Amino acid sequence: MSRKKAQKAQKIYLYALNFFVLFVPFCGHVKADDGSRLWLRYDQLPSRRVGSIAVQGQSATFDVIRRELLGAGIVVGNSDDASVVIGLPQTSTLIHKLGWEAELKNLGPEGFRIRTIRNVIVIASTTDIGTLYGTFHFLRLLQTEQPIDRLQIDQTPRLKLRLLNHWDNLDGSIERGYAGKSLWMGVDDNRRLLDYARANASIGINGSVVNNVNANSEFLTAKYLKKFAAIADVFRPFGIRVYLSPRFSAPIELGKLPTADPLDPAVIEWWKQKVDEIYKLIPDFGGFLVKANSEGQPGPRTYNRTHADGANMLAAALAPHQGIVMWRAFVYDMKPGYDRAGAAYENLQPFDGKFAPNVLLQVKNGPIDFQPREPFHPLFGAMPRTPVMPELQITQEYLGFDNHFVFLASMWREFLDSDTYAHGRGSTVAKVVDGELYRQRLTGIAGVANTGSDTNWTGYDLLQANWYAFGRLAWDPQLSSEQIATEWTKMTLTHDARAVTTIVRLMLESYEAVVNYMTPLGLHHLFWGGHHYGPAPWWDMEKRDDWNPVYYHKADAFGIGFDRTKTGSDTVSQYHLPQRFSDLQQCPEKFLLWFHHVPWNYKMKSGRTLWDEMALHYQSGVDWVRSTRATWATLSGVIDPERHAAISKKLAIQERDAVWWRDACLLYFQTFAKQPLPRGVEPPAKTLSEYKERALEW
């Protein structure tokens, strides 16, 4: 999109919003809801609780604040006797008089303060963006019906970089995206960009990597840089920076150099020029996210250089502009007898302390690849001299695409609360990530986005909650899943108290249920090759062993599971205090088959055999989906019919799939276990060969 077009889009948006504010309230009943407003739904907002709001400041960001409040049906003015005052000490006499300068400064550039002072609510910050965050926080209080008569809120985001990663390709397709096409690639006049920016700002997301990490050099050509500059113009008032994924071999493809060796002076100069060119167009450009020497991508090792050589070369080009490099640790080679779970640690840990100060290592939450459940990645707690930022996957590559209802805050909480024991008990991943453990200032977190061109953004209304949850946890990695689920439900679906309790309960149960019918007890990567939708535990035809499910479960006549202890690959020793996983007595059962190869008759804590326990886990996952469908049916009338029906349809697909998962896995594993299904597990709907014959369709 060109700059002019971006400005035009902004104008049209403003007109549309005014129309909405002025006319829609007179239109009578609320029509069906298509989900496009996400959690920014203000029709139920009890605006009379607020009176008028004075927005005291002039800038593009203050305009965003005004528009948002208008959109919420609130009277916006500038007078000091309004009931809410929003501004900075230097733009608001009232805020100036309060003498908060020092305290506001302590809250940092993105922090804000909200205080009820006699009968005025004051929302203040030292920056426009801080007041925008404060405004969205205040709106959330109203949307979730919190008391506002005695507000005493000081907030600062715990993490500095709170980014979405978009795996968007040149042709507008999205790798592992299930909600339509890209919001910007192949789209020229996209008014949705503004709504995307609003939604992100409302949850504190402050950056977007706009292209796929499987990068094409074309993205660095002038044509695309101009496009990204126009996007950056749209995002800027919302506090969102643009980042790019450069292809490491771009100096060859675009610069016609004979090499992309990071120590070659001509290569170094090429990147410096390229980065300078980017900053001329995008003065607040954030930096680069790099996938190098991974799954066929070029990188420094192509030239016998190290990951640190590659990262530091790019970091040097970005440093004069305050840009950063996020270097991905998703690196694994395949040697015979190798355990992929140990690869990233082996490849990257030796470089702790060798990266430039503006480099972060971006590490997936688990050691393999966004599986339904993985133990935390051992690099968290192993890099005291390197900022390590987690990469979470919001899009559900291994979790039923946009068809399965799973609230991912539960998974992310489990990850963030995991104890690395790096400095004794209580050294949680959250403390590594927020810089507390190693006193690091450069901190961040990334989420691979689940957004797309679909009207409801995420392909499934309930999965909007995962975008929301990611932003909320990025702002505060200590927030409880329950709080996030409750906020989202009230803002997005309903205020009916009984319905809220029910939906929140389902959200909190959903993660365990999906793990149960896909990969219980530490199983992982049982997916059909390529698309990763349904089960194919028998799969063994990929060219690389570690792309085959049989490599991961290792089922045989003796038992099942991947032995990662001393008798096996011993990658468990990459953890501090490895005996908590390697000792069978201590290993949590949810990770049993991740770390151990155990016999089918192994006695579980319940007293049952492993085989029986596994079968019952699969069954309980199916049971949960069935009861959730029934519960959801009772909520018709509380939720608008359009979204209620759409969600019902998705739950029906989820039930079909859960049954398929249970049957395909149990029938296949039964060929090794050679035992009957225990009581309480339904007989399979089809035969094993039928399940093998064709993939589950989505």
Would you name the residues annotated as active-site residues? 295, 369, 397
Instruction: List the strands of the sheet with 152-155, edge to edge.
Output: 75-77, 52-56, 84-87, 120-124, 112-117, 152-155
8 A C-beta contact, residue 319 and residue 353: no
> Which of 331/615 has CB closer to ligand GCW?
331
- In sequence order, what DSSP letters do the residues of 454-521 get, joined into one string? STTSSSSGGGHHHHHHHHHHHH-TT--HHHHHHHHHHHHT---HHHHHHHHHHHHHHHHHHHHHHSGG
> By CB under 6 A, what part of segment 21-40 binds ligand GCW?
none
By beta-carbon proximity to ligand GCW, the closer residue of 388 and 491 is: 388
Yes or no: say if 515 and 620 are a contact pair by the CB < 8 Å rule.
Answer: no
Q: Which is nearer to ligand GCW, 162 or 176 (CB)?
A: 176
Task: Note whether 475 and 203 are within 8 A (CB).
Answer: yes
Taking the complex as a whole, the smallest distance from the CB of residue 450 to ligand GCW amounts, in Å, to 14
Of residues 214 and 349, the one with the C-beta less far from ligand GCW = 214
Q: Which is nearer to ligand GCW, 129 or 515 (CB)?
A: 515
The answer to whether 368 touches 341, Cβ cutoff 8 Å, is yes
Q: Shortest Cβ contact with ligand GCW: which residue?
A: 369
C-alpha distances (whole Å) from 442 to each of 161, 324, 439 are 8, 10, 9
Whether the CB-CB separation of 328 and 355 falls below 8 Å is answered with no
Options 1, 95, 203, 213; binder of ligand GCW; rule CB under 6 A = 213
Smallest distance, Å, CB 181 to ligand GCW? 17
Reduce the secondary structure of 372-393 to three states and give it as a string. CCCCCCCCCCCCCCCCEEEEEE
Instruction: State which residue, 63 or 175, has the beta carbon closest to ligand GCW.
Output: 175
Angstrom distance (rounded) from CA 189 to CA 530:
33
Q: Which helix (H) or strand (E) holds 21?
A: helix 3-23
- Considering only 330, 405, 475, 594, the residue that binds ligand GCW (CB under 6 A) is 330
Pick one of 83, 214, 216, 349: the residue that binds ligand GCW (CB under 6 A).
214
The count of C-alpha atoms lying within 13 angstroms of the C-alpha of 640, restricted to the half-sphere facing its C-beta, is: 15
Give whichever of 213 and 360 is closer to ligand GCW, judged by the CB atom.
213
- Nearer of residues 128 and 369 to ligand GCW, judged by Cβ: 369
Indicate the SS3 state at residue 552: helix
Report the candidate in 342, 353, 340, 365 with the shortest Cα–Cα distance to residue 447. 365
Gap between the Cα atoms of 418 and 408, Å rounded = 16
User: Nearest distance from residue 215's CB to ligand GCW, in Å?
Assistant: 10
Please, which residue, 327 or 370, has the CB nearer to ligand GCW? 370
Among candidates 207, 377, 202, which has minimal Cα distance to 288?
A: 207
593: DSSP letter: H
Least distance to ligand GCW from the beta carbon of 364, Å?
Answer: 7
Q: In DSSP terms, which residues pair with 446 in a beta bridge?
A: 163, 391
In whole angstroms, the minimum distance from the beta carbon of 91 to ligand GCW comes to 44
Question: Is 542 near ligand GCW (CB under 6 A)?
Answer: no
Binding-site member from 167, 270, 600, 624 for ligand GCW (CB under 6 A): 167
Q: In the complex with ligand GCW, which residue's Cβ is closer, 154 or 295?
A: 295
| Stretch 263-292 residues interacting with ligand GCW (CB under 6 A) | 291
Q: What token pair was written down for 180? A: 């339509």
Between the two ends of the chain, the Cα-to-Cα distance in Å is 33
d(CA 417, CA 302): 37
Residue pair 390/363 in contact (Cβ under 8 Å)? The answer is yes
Minimum gap (Å) between residue 399 Cβ and ligand GCW = 12
- The string of DSSP codes covering 304-325 is T--HHHHHHHHHHHHGGGT-EE
Rounded to whole angstroms, the Cα distance separating 663 from 436 reads: 46
How does 388-398 read in b/e, with b if 16+ C-beta sit within 10 Å?
Answer: bbbbbbbbbbb
CA dist., res. 485 & res. 508, Å (int): 8
Query: How many residues sit in the footprint of ligand GCW (CB under 6 A)?
Result: 11
- Least gap, CB of 407 to ligand GCW (angstroms): 21
Nearer to ligand GCW, 294 or 358 (CB): 294
Site for ligand GCW in 358-417 (CB under 6 A): 369-370, 397
- Provide the pairing of β-strand 84-87 with 52-56: parallel
**Residues 171-200 close enough to bind ligand GCW by CB under 6 A:** 175-176
**Using CA atoms, how far apart are residues 666 and 518, in angstroms rounded to an integer?**
11
288-317: contacts with ligand GCW (CB under 6 A): 291, 295
The smaller minimum CB distance to ligand GCW, of residues 266 and 334, is found at 334
CB count, 10 Å around CB of 468? 24
Q: Concatenated DSSP letters for 61-81?
A: HHHHHHHHHHHTT-EEE--TT
Question: At residue 222, what are phi and psi to the nearest 5 degrees?
Answer: -55, -40
Cα–Cα distance, 117 to 153 (Å, whole number): 12
Nearer to ligand GCW, 167 or 551 (CB): 167
Q: What is the DSSP string of 336-363?
A: TT--GGGHHHHHHGGGTT-S-TTEEEEE
The minimum distance between CB 213 and ligand GCW, in angstroms, equals 5
Q: Please state the closest distance from residue 360 (CB atom) to ligand GCW, in A.
A: 16
Q: How many angstroms separate the CA atoms of 51 and 134, rounded?
A: 18
Minimum distance, C-beta of residue 175 to ligand GCW, in the bound complex (Å): 5
Q: Residue numbers of the site for ligand GCW (CB under 6 A)?
A: 167, 175-176, 213-214, 291, 295, 330, 369-370, 397
